[in-house]
Structure 1
Amino acid sequence: MQPDARRRRDPTPNGELRGLLAETEWTQEAFARAIGRLGAEAGVRLRYDRTSVARWLRGSRPSPQVQGFIAEALSRRLGRPVPVAQLGMGDGRSGGRGRRSAESRAEPTGRTYVPAARPARPADQLAALTAAVVGPPRADSPPAAPYQLTLLKQQGLAHSRPSGSNPPASPANSPSAGEGEEHGGIGDVPTETPEPLRPRPPRDHSPSSRGGRPARRTAPDEVASVREHVRFFSQQADRHGGGHIRTTLAASLAALVRRLRTGGEGPHHPQLVAGAARLSYLLARVYADEYRHGLAQRAFLTAAELAEEGGDPEGVALARRALSSQAHQLGHRRQSLELAEAACESAPAGTAPSARAFLYAGLAVAQAGQGRRHRALAALRSAEHELARSPADLTTGPESPDGEPVGSYQDAALHYQAGQVRAALGDREGAVRELRASLRFRPEGECRSRALSEAELAELLLAQGRLEEACAAWELFLEDSALIRSGRARRARDRMPRLLRPYTQEPCVQGLLTRAGMPLGTL
């Protein structure tokens, strides 16, 4: 009896996962490392090795959260979507096949946002994203979700241009024919590329499916309130970091979701939906700042869909540009370029000059990431030209150094992204000049933006052997980072002692590390 009972308790070997792993031609150790890299993208530490994979193949099952990362690792390797349902791990609840391993039972997963499919309605997607932060029981820290490259293609946001075709030409400062370098434009799109996005009619918000209640007419003051929320949260993110506003921003969005679900009518309702798109965009920025890139990606996608529903093609273009910036940050350079080009192509002819500058700057960074020097510099010149045409905006101030504004784009952000272009092209001295120019234009109150720029400047200076200048930049970084809550700033601070370890005998390094509370004996 006892051997039979033991056999019944043993998990069933997972043939589905074994087949997928064989198809990847990965070793078990390489598979575990790939999952760990995906966890790092999403801001969660996944410590697995070949023994963990061996247990999964024998039938043990990690948590549903980890299954999402396993599926994404396989999807990237195989070049096709691999749903969680195909992993042979059941549905992640009691009663599914196999058994959960001891390691998975010990994982502090909290509430998990790894849906099998995204909700059909953008308002429902937004509800899922905000419930992770403000839903009962209240949890200030959102769960992790994998960043999915396949999700970009499923949503039609990343595209591959047929070989031999050219991106649309720039309306200004195009390179000469002798250079042979065209780059993405805004509004001037040839027939072989996707047409610019046209505003869709607002979705039908009729009350027929809601018990026959009449749809409430959206009032102008509701739209004005949403716009003020956008302005306020944008300023706070740049000044103090996403950690200070995450919960209140999500709560505001959750309340707005309830309003969107009740429906609305009248000429102001599309503007309310477009305002929700801008707030979703800001929530994505907050998640990205905290390295919750899976959640950030979903929030950016939701922002694009809401903007399209609200008849705001410029908002769609800005969301695509943000997705490009995120992909670049995570090292997915080909997808970054595809998204940057799609953003430029989808912007309408009437796009404001500051938004045009923002889109061209993103294209320049993406081109530089692919080593396309002439195209990158041409796109950067177009961004400078458009920003010079833009009227001064004294109401919102310069935006964050990662260059993702909601309404305006100014000199400090453009210089920052010019620095990214120069650095990617190997021009460190030019990158230093651009970052210093960015800091000159950046208001003192923009603590998060200044801190991130100062950290990047310090690392560039150190790479050039300019140790004392690097320490001076890090001193300023410590001052500004003490006033903010930002995951990016925390990571920059964590890199500092590792980078300075070879120079601990230098007085300026000793003083800097002492001030940072990092005694030399701990390095």
Structure 2
Amino acid sequence: MGTPEPNTGLERLYREAGWTLRQFAQEVNRIGTERGTPLKYREPSVHQWLKGHMPNEDVRPLILEALARKLCRPVTHSEAGFPPPPAEESRGLPGTVEGLLDLGRQGMNPSRRSVLGVALFSVALTVPNWPDVVGRMESVQKGEAQRIGMPDVQSVIAMTERLSDIDDQFGGRTARPMAAAYMVNTVAPYLSADAPDNVRKAMMAAASDLSYLTGYMAVDEGIHGMAQRYYLKALELAGASEDHLTYCTTLRGMSVQAVDLGHGAEALRLADAAAAASPQAGPRMRAFLAGQQAHSAAQEGNSRTALQRIKEAEVAMDKAESQSKTFGSYNPSSLAYHVGQVRYELGDVKGSIELLKESDRLRPSTFRRTSIRYLSMLAERQLEVGHLESACETWGRVLDIYPLVQSGHCDRSIAAMHSRIRPFLKNHTARDLFERARLVTPPRLLVHRT
């Protein structure tokens, strides 16, 4: 074999990104870790790619994603000098019902998590605007299997509420396979059944809400690429059923996913899109959207916008709480969390600690997973300002709840706790916490410990 020709396309993108060889390798490795397949590329590998040696097929999407994140635009295989992907990966998204069936069947078996984890979170994902999806009834095809009515719609709504309760209490690893099986065995057939137009619209709205919830559960497990696919299906179904609320809720959820992964610019774009698409939203939804905009803007270092949006969120929440018989998942505890995140992103660590304490005080005890995540965050920040005893006390509360939850988010919080407390094991309180934690931590989370 002769010497390969230099990859001028990849070289051009590399120059545009302004990276060093080391930075390029680090970004690819970071995305591999995010996907659940840690990599250890270094400068020589990148040098070889630029000289024309073709990266492994499963690494090419990671390289494209790294460049897309840096350049803030999609990057194609051909642009980077790579051969086109296999045909089955380049067909585009399948139809709405077919796509839900594919997603559901992939997710019904929790033992396939290692396979699901290869899905890649993409900042270059094309998100449809409301005018592009509204009223698209042709996205769901009628079948002759059965005829459905409003009682069937109500059953899907009720089941989604129960699944959401299970998710809140026990985590996504428990609830998501159940949701996937329900989607495949019940909801997808309903979507293909014969029904009056009003029933069909209502069923698509109910399916949209379930698809959003299942995507949220996938985020909890760390299966971010699959979560994005569920979110896209939720957007399609929300548009087909003209369900503005679920459309905006889904965009907001996509923004939360992005900001938690550290993609502030993408999170702000999605939060702004959700706010722009919801001019008739009630005060509680406006508070949630403004709070999410504030967190995203703060992560980007835009303090003026962040503080303005937080003020809007506080005003909207005051209106929501003053109305009788109002309800919703965004509550004063959620707002306190957002204010705390803005404080932290803008450098006020102590202020964020007080807000996280306030969020904990206001949070319903049934939200176990949220409690574990945010108490863990509180402990990390208490340790950051040197309050070791307080951090250990907070982590002790986390350990009280952790055995009750099956959650990827919570697993990652516990793994982080082990790493952060290890340097302080000469302290009696820290040592007691560490020993107690070992009793409830799954061995797979300790494989890298000694």
**TM-score, normalised via structure 2 length:** 0.85
1:62 maps to 2:32:
no
1:355 to 271, 285, 302: 285
Match of 1:268, SS state, is: helix
Alpha-carbon distance, 1:285 to partner: 1.1
Cα gap change, 1:124 to 1:382, in 2 (>3 Å): farther
- Aligned twin of 2:122: 148
1:381 maps to 2:302:
no
Cα gap change, 1:156 to 1:269, in 2 (>3 Å): closer
Match of 1:465, SS state, is: coil
1:443 maps to 2:364:
yes
On the 8 A contact 2:153/2:202 being kept in 1, the answer is yes
Alpha-carbon distance, 1:366 to partner: 2.2
Letter of the 1:274 counterpart:
A
On the 8 A contact 1:202/1:309 being kept in 2, the answer is yes
1:273 to 204, 222, 232: 204
- Aligned twin of 1:127: 101
On the 8 A contact 1:34/1:73 being kept in 2, the answer is yes
1:499 maps to 2:412:
no
1:473 maps to 2:445:
no
1:431 maps to 2:379:
no
Match of 1:246, SS state, is: helix
Letter of the 1:385 counterpart:
D
Q: Residues of 1 paired with 2:366 and 2:430: CA distance?
A: 27
1:46 maps to 2:19:
no
Q: Which runs of 5+ in 2 are unaligned?
A: 440-445
2:303 to 349, 371, 385: 371
On the 8 A contact 2:97/2:140 being kept in 1, the answer is no
Letter of the 2:382 counterpart:
L
- Aligned twin of 1:184: none
Letter of the 2:127 counterpart:
Q
- Aligned twin of 2:408: 487
- 4+ long deviations beyond 6 Å: 196-199
Letter of the 2:312 counterpart:
A
Letter of the 1:364 counterpart:
A
On the 8 A contact 2:317/2:331 being kept in 1, the answer is no
1:149-189 alpha-carbon deviations (Å, 9 max, x no partner): 221xx3356xxxxxxxxxxxxxxxxxxxxxxxxxxxxxxxx
Alpha-carbon distance, 1:358 to partner: 2.0
- Aligned twin of 2:255: 324
On the 8 A contact 1:134/1:140 being kept in 2, the answer is no
- Aligned twin of 1:139: 112
Match of 1:149, SS state, is: coil
Aligned pairs (5 A) from 1:270-419: 270-349=201-280, 351-369=281-299, 370-372=302-304, 373-392=306-325, 408-419=329-340
Determine what percentage of the aligned residue pairs are the same residue. 30
Q: Residues of 1 paired with 2:54 and 2:349: CA distance?
A: 49
2:27 to 27, 30, 34: 34
Alpha-carbon distance, 1:485 to partner: 1.6
Alpha-carbon distance, 1:261 to partner: 3.7
Cα gap change, 1:75 to 1:14, in 2 (>3 Å): farther
Q: Residues of 1 paired with 2:35 and 2:393: CA distance?
A: 32
Alpha-carbon distance, 1:311 to partner: 0.9
Match of 2:234, SS state, is: helix
Q: Residues of 2 paired with 1:58 and 1:277: CA distance?
A: 45
1:447-478 alpha-carbon deviations (Å, 9 max, x no partner): 21111121011112112222211110000111
Structure 1 stretch displaced more, 326-335 or 384-393: 384-393
Alpha-carbon distance, 1:60 to partner: 4.8
Cα gap change, 1:260 to 1:83, in 2 (>3 Å): farther
Letter of the 1:360 counterpart:
A
Give the length in aligned residue pairs.
434
Aligned pairs (5 A) from 1:185-224: 200-201=134-135, 203-204=137-138, 217-224=147-154
On the 8 A contact 1:415/1:435 being kept in 2, the answer is yes
On the 8 A contact 1:289/1:487 being kept in 2, the answer is yes
CA RMSD of aligned residues (A): 3.2
Q: Residues of 2 paired with 1:313 and 1:491: CA distance?
A: 34
Match of 2:135, SS state, is: coil
Q: Residues of 2 paired with 1:264 and 1:306: CA distance?
A: 16
Letter of the 2:252 counterpart:
R
- Aligned twin of 1:74: 67
Letter of the 2:28 counterpart:
I
Q: Which runs of 5+ in 1 are unaligned?
A: 1-6, 97-113, 158-195, 395-406
Alpha-carbon distance, 1:508 to partner: 0.8
- Aligned twin of 1:464: 385
Alpha-carbon distance, 1:378 to partner: 1.4
Structure 1 stretch displaced more, 431-440 or 120-129: 120-129
On the 8 A contact 2:290/2:309 being kept in 1, the answer is no
- Aligned twin of 2:442: none
Letter of the 1:203 counterpart:
M
- Aligned twin of 2:176: 246
- Aligned twin of 1:190: none
Match of 1:376, SS state, is: helix
**TM-score, normalised via structure 1 length:** 0.74
- Aligned twin of 2:4: 13
Match of 2:93, SS state, is: coil
Cα gap change, 1:478 to 1:413, in 2 (>3 Å): same
Alpha-carbon distance, 1:206 to partner: 8.6
Cα gap change, 1:336 to 1:206, in 2 (>3 Å): closer
- Aligned twin of 1:118: 92
Letter of the 1:375 counterpart:
Q
Q: Residues of 1 paired with 2:297 and 2:24: CA distance?
A: 31
Instruction: Give 1 or 2: higher helix fraction.
Output: 2
Point out the structure with max Rg over C-alpha.
1
Match of 1:83, SS state, is: coil
Match of 2:137, SS state, is: coil
Match of 2:153, SS state, is: helix
